[in-house]
Structure 1
Amino acid sequence: MDEQVPQLIEFDQQRPLTAIIQDLCNTWALAEPEQYSLQFSDNARSYITEKNRNDIKNGYVLRLTHSPAKTAQDILDKLHSNKPDDMRVALERLQRLSSDYTFALEFINKQGHQLLINMVEAGSYTGDHLALTLQSFVELMDHGIVLWDILEPKFVGRVANQVNVNTTQDTRTLQASLSILESLVLNGTGRYAMVDQEVTLPNLIMHMQSSSVEIQQSAVALINALFLKAESTTKRKTLAATLSSRHIRNVIVTAVLQRSQQHVGTEMAHQLYVLQTLLLNLLDERRVGVDPNDAEARERILELRRIAFDVEADGTCSTTSGGRKGGGYAKDYKKLGFQNHTNPIEDFGEPPGILALDNMVYFARNHTESYTKFVLENSCRADEHECPFGRSSIRLTRLLAEILKIGEPPTEQGKTYYPMFFTHDHPFEEFFCIGIMLLNKTWKEMRATTEDFVKVFSVGPGTDQPCFGHRTTSHES
């Protein structure tokens, strides 16, 4: 008690807390000792219980204060009073205490959370009152004492309105609103549609441009939640198309990455990692074997041959295939590094299959000069020194998928993201292009032979994340 003379006592860990509190109340002549509890005196002001009493160390300063039950009732009485000043004091106190589980349990048992819900649904509170109410509600719900399913459309609509308004507002209110909607999507049963119907993606993108890092983080977190819990593949792909657009990526680069001057905080790094993971995971459906009768895949393999060989060579190395007039391109496919020269589609029969073919065609179409240089250089080498483009591409795609953990859900601890992912229209394919060129360079430097294939990969790209994944801001780096 602040008005009492402090006591220096030995805190006997063998005695019940009730007995220790009884002694202190006797010393200070305080009636009703059951109305009191001990608190740590640090900023958290956590209540001391039988479960956490062993956290008390020598020299700790403890406070004797009203019990969680009494404090909860006092706050509720003031909230019911409808006196603005009393309500503000009560809400400020509630906001400070709501992170404490012991208090939260008492407050919720007295239906305090329902009172807060009713206050929000009434729509009569603004400014500090609304900010403190929503902040307290977030803290109370985070304990998991009650389910998020208790929230109804009226409450969700009121909270979503705080996200959708375009006028300047209290950042506390906005951040709490975003957090409530995120938690409702992640933890509520059948509540996804309720939030998705109320919140518009353009407004969330607008909040990503906020000057407040906390608002940015909360906006990205809600976007991630909507993406993660999307109720259909079509919905996920629609969201992915929007989030992968150049406009949205420019917002992330300019408002988040550049503004932070490369010092992105841990929580924002985690949210960017989650967004990146969810987008990359859409590639998982391409990581399947190719059907040998797939006409489109056969045409794309033919395209790889055409781009590499149906061009005018510089005369230093013949690119003419003696096998074409015989009705096949076996010699060309051998130069392209396929293991099955007569029917190269068989090389894609197992994962990463289609995804590897996607990468190869992208490289040939978008980095044509580098592609033809790769193929023609190796065509001029002795057979045993050729770096097999086809075989290498399949192996590299597999390694990239493993490094980027394609197909795996995001983890709670993950925070590795790649700025290039947000600066390029086709980041995965560009990772591949960088990797395949590095691989060819390594092959030449090692003067490797086909017998060294595994060895080259053990020292070349794909063996460590820094080759692709260390946090770079440009393709060149």
Structure 2
Amino acid sequence: MPPPKDVVKIAIQMVGAIPQLIDLQQTKPLASVLKDVCDAWSLPNAEHYALQYADGRQTYITESNRGEIKNGSILRLTTSPDQEAERLYSGIQSNNSDVKTDSLKKLASLSQDVTFAQEFINRNGLKKIFCIVEEGNESTSLCLLICSSSTGEMLAHTLKAFMELMEHDFVSWETLSAAFIKKIVSYVNMNAVDASVQQLSLSILENMVPTSRVLFELVKKEVTLDRLLTHLQVTNAQLQLKAMALLIALLLSATDAERQEMMDYLREKNIRQFIHKEQRELLQSLRQTAFESESEAPTSNFSTERRRSLCAKEFRKLGFVNNSNPAEDLRRAPPGLLALDNMVYFSRHTPNAYSRFVLENSSREDKHECPFARSSIQLTLILCEILHVGEPCSETAQAFYPMFFGQDHFFEELFCICIQLVNKTWKEMRATQEDFDKVLQVVREQITRTLSLKPTSLELFKTRVNALNYSEILKLRQTERLHQEETLAVPVLELRERLKPELLELIRQQRLLHLCEGTLFRKISSRRRQDKLWYCRLSPNHKVLHYGDVEEGVNSPPIESLPEKIPVVDMKMLLVGKECPHTKEKSSGKQNKDVLELAFSIVYDMEEYCLNFIAPTRYEFCLWTDGLNVLLGKEMTSERTQTDLDVLLSMELKLRLLDLENISIPDTPPPIPKPPSNLNFCYDFSHAEQ
């Protein structure tokens, strides 16, 4: 039989005693519960005790929050908040420095609890903290600079307690005295102060600035921008963060004129060099890890320009678009610096895979290199979109991935798997830089399809996503396309077939129009030197191909400047790939395979002369071969034709069926009704003529 809903089973601990296991009745007054617990341990004065959580923030249990206690919770019997507040109030006034330090340390910890904070503030405890800070004389400041750390520790606990107490909003920031504020400012402006004291002082000023115009002006006057810039240059990341937070608070609270003046001064001081210092170091670590052997070469004799040039070259090999300042590539948010964190994690936790990725692609000379940095930035964005990173939690979402909870750094580990998948898919697709978006679309599909299988671990995800290679994706797409066509109603399929000729004609016209605009080609000599340019275009009446050599920089020469001509009627056939005469003469090799994919020739005249082409891209190859086939009266056979036709058919069908949305279309036409028994309802026009 399940226990009642208003009863929870808990354990209660006390130092030096055997824990109690009790059934806590939530309807029973808390004072009565405490009385029973104290009686079990033979403790008098139950009103002097309280319960608090043994783990976490150790919050006191009150009548208002007792409903949050869950089955299996572990509580601790401790001194009540009012008794503890009284004890610590006396302790922080002790003349014994050890007692005072311990009391302030305990106060800083307990002040996070709202019940204790209220009891301490009701005893005018904040005023006593103000006094401890304000009464710090020059000798105290001197101790902070040169004495032992005990004084700095005491002050840090005091400021921490003050911050926690102020967080509960029982007291307004505007009640702070000028002496207290100036003392806090002095800790910020000192050069050799305990870092924790400076961090807390900066946090106090940050919280103080937005509350009042008077406080803003006081802080702005006492803490100069130069001082904040000095804090931004230290190696302590937390101190940098607090200084930046105060700077932002000042900018947000300033008037437009003041903000403009501050920004102008910060630009003059080149604030970006302080903000991006850590990011620059991470970027340099990426470069050094990838090109360690090259970076070890002695560069002491190199000039600054020479060293900068070497760094830019290596950042280009890493795949950054802006190789002279790679930080510019990280400006887009999302993913922003999350992409940099992922790259650094990959380089540090899987250094062999990282080096292999970068060196394998940076050593290629055939335009098939996969850019690591650019791929990482785009992949991080894709993962953020798939996993809804940065979006508010949805109460209606259905997707749940158990493997999220099996790793301490799940997102980074997932990135490490997926960035290697990008490189693998890139090679499978034999992609070039122009295919970057296409490759990432395939990778997105691979990740999405694998996640839909709900893998229970990252290892299982890795196995499945690597098995889903590019050829499998193509098969799945084809199967889904066929299934979609099979599920279409017969009338829709008939409409699709009727639309095909019209849309194919539209594609033919587009191909011919592209040939009329013309394309710039490169001549490839026997030594594979691509140093000469020539241009070819179709005449507007589609009867003559004009071509001729052009100079570098000429993009679209007029048709009159192209001296050579081939009448379309003289064209006999189109050859592609290995059939072309200019590819048969070349020796086999890796680069030659790329040329084969872009080569085509026109056979013309009675003596079967050939005009040989090497298309600049696969896209141009498809458009030109389609256009030439149209001129020859043949079918367009490129993969681009099928892609364009599918897109146009899909768009046209959706437009045609827009009015039939949510209406089921029958597979067969409705039956024709029987003719009426007589046609007497028709008007006899013969009588009207008489």
Q: Deviations over 1:218-260 (max 9, x none)?
A: 1011001111111x33211111112333621111111x42346
Q: Deviations over 1:161-204 (max 9, x none)?
A: 1111112x222111110000011101245211111121111111
Matched, 1:141 2:154: no
**CA-CA distance at 1:142 after TM superposition:** 1.1
Q: Please say if residues 242 and 248 of structure 1, whose CA atoms lie closer than 8 Å, have aligned partners that are also in contact.
A: no
What's the secondary structure of 1:11's corresponding residue? strand
User: Which AA in structure 2 matches 1:88?
Assistant: T
Q: Where does residue 245 of structure 2 map in the other structure? A: 221
The structure 2 residue matched to 1:251, chosen from 261, 274, 297, is 274
CA distance in 2 between partners of 1:227 and 1:190 (Å): 15
CA distance in 1 between partners of 2:246 and 2:119 (Å): 30
CA distance in 2 between partners of 1:203 and 1:129 (Å): 25
CA distance in 2 between partners of 1:31 and 1:45 (Å): 24
Q: Where does residue 87 of structure 1 map in the other structure? A: 100
CA distance in 1 between partners of 2:252 and 2:213 (Å): 14
CA distance in 2 between partners of 1:51 and 1:119 (Å): 34
Matched, 1:175 2:199: yes
Aligned 1:326-341 pairs, distance under 5 A: none
Structure 1: 5+ residue stretches without partners: 266-372, 381-444, 446-477
CA distance in 2 between partners of 1:258 and 1:97 (Å): 40
Aligned 1:205-284 pairs, distance under 5 A: 205-230=229-254, 232-245=255-268, 247-254=270-277, 256-259=278-281, 262=337
User: Which AA in structure 1 matches 2:266?
Assistant: L
Q: Please say if residues 120 and 158 of structure 1, whose CA atoms lie closer than 8 Å, have aligned partners that are also in contact.
A: yes
Aligned 1:157-196 pairs, distance under 5 A: 157-167=182-192, 169-188=193-212, 190-196=214-220
Q: Deviations over 1:63-89 (max 9, x none)?
A: 011111111110011112221111011
User: Which AA in structure 2 matches 1:201?
Assistant: L
Q: Where does residue 2 of structure 1 map in the other structure? A: 15
Q: 1:200 to 1:227 in 2, by over 3 A?
A: same
Equivalenced residue count is 269
What's the secondary structure of 1:30's corresponding residue? coil
Matched, 1:113 2:126: yes
Aligned 1:293-312 pairs, distance under 5 A: none
Q: Where does residue 52 of structure 2 map in the other structure? A: 39
CA distance in 1 between partners of 2:220 and 2:93 (Å): 33
Q: Deviations over 1:101-129 (max 9, x none)?
A: 11111111111111111110001553111
Q: 1:97 to 1:259 in 2, by over 3 A?
A: farther
CA distance in 1 between partners of 2:282 and 2:118 (Å): 39
User: Which AA in structure 1 matches 2:231?
Assistant: H
The structure 1 residue matched to 2:115, chosen from 102, 106, 109, is 102
TM-score, normalising length: structure 2: 0.37
**CA-CA distance at 1:153 after TM superposition:** 1.2
Matched, 1:68 2:92: no
Q: Where does residue 24 of structure 2 map in the other structure? A: 11
What's the secondary structure of 2:20's corresponding residue? coil
What's the secondary structure of 1:9's corresponding residue? strand
What's the secondary structure of 1:191's corresponding residue? helix
Q: 1:162 to 1:377 in 2, by over 3 A?
A: farther
Q: 1:43 to 1:18 in 2, by over 3 A?
A: same
The structure 2 residue matched to 1:156, chosen from 170, 174, 181, is 181
Identity %: 38
Q: Please say if residues 210 and 216 of structure 1, whose CA atoms lie closer than 8 Å, have aligned partners that are also in contact.
A: yes
TM-score, normalising length: structure 1: 0.53
What's the secondary structure of 2:261's corresponding residue? helix
User: Which AA in structure 2 matches 1:237?
Assistant: Q
Q: 1:226 to 1:93 in 2, by over 3 A?
A: same
Q: Deviations over 1:373-409 (max 9, x none)?
A: 9xx999x9xxxxxxxxxxxxxxxxxxxxxxxxxxxxx
Q: 1:92 to 1:15 in 2, by over 3 A?
A: same
CA distance in 2 between partners of 1:260 and 1:193 (Å): 37
What's the secondary structure of 2:276's corresponding residue? helix
Q: 1:377 to 1:178 in 2, by over 3 A?
A: farther
Higher strand residue share: 2
RMSD: 2.5
CA distance in 2 between partners of 1:260 and 1:56 (Å): 45
Higher relative contact order (CA 8 A, sep 6+): 1
Q: Deviations over 1:353-375 (max 9, x none)?
A: xxxxxxxxxxxxxxxxxxxx9xx
Q: Deviations over 1:110-167 (max 9, x none)?
A: 1111111111000155311111101111111111111001111111111011111112
CA distance in 2 between partners of 1:188 and 1:116 (Å): 22
Q: Please say if residues 149 and 189 of structure 1, whose CA atoms lie closer than 8 Å, have aligned partners that are also in contact.
A: no
CA distance in 2 between partners of 1:54 and 1:258 (Å): 50
User: Which AA in structure 2 matches 1:143?
Assistant: H
CA distance in 1 between partners of 2:35 and 2:226 (Å): 58
CA distance in 1 between partners of 2:236 and 2:46 (Å): 45
CA distance in 1 between partners of 2:182 and 2:41 (Å): 50
Matched, 1:199 2:228: no
**CA-CA distance at 1:99 after TM superposition:** 1.1
User: Which AA in structure 2 matches 1:252?
Assistant: I
**CA-CA distance at 1:3 after TM superposition:** 2.1
Q: Please say if residues 175 and 215 of structure 1, whose CA atoms lie closer than 8 Å, have aligned partners that are also in contact.
A: yes
Q: Please say if residues 69 and 107 of structure 1, whose CA atoms lie closer than 8 Å, have aligned partners that are also in contact.
A: yes
CA distance in 1 between partners of 2:282 and 2:114 (Å): 34
CA distance in 1 between partners of 2:260 and 2:274 (Å): 20
Structure 2: 5+ residue stretches without partners: 1-13, 141-150, 284-336, 342-552, 559-622, 624-690
What's the secondary structure of 2:171's corresponding residue? coil
What's the secondary structure of 2:78's corresponding residue? strand
**CA-CA distance at 1:58 after TM superposition:** 1.1
Larger Rg: 2
User: Which AA in structure 2 matches 1:172?
Assistant: S
Q: Where does residue 400 of structure 1 map in the other structure? A: none
User: Which AA in structure 1 matches 2:176?
Assistant: L
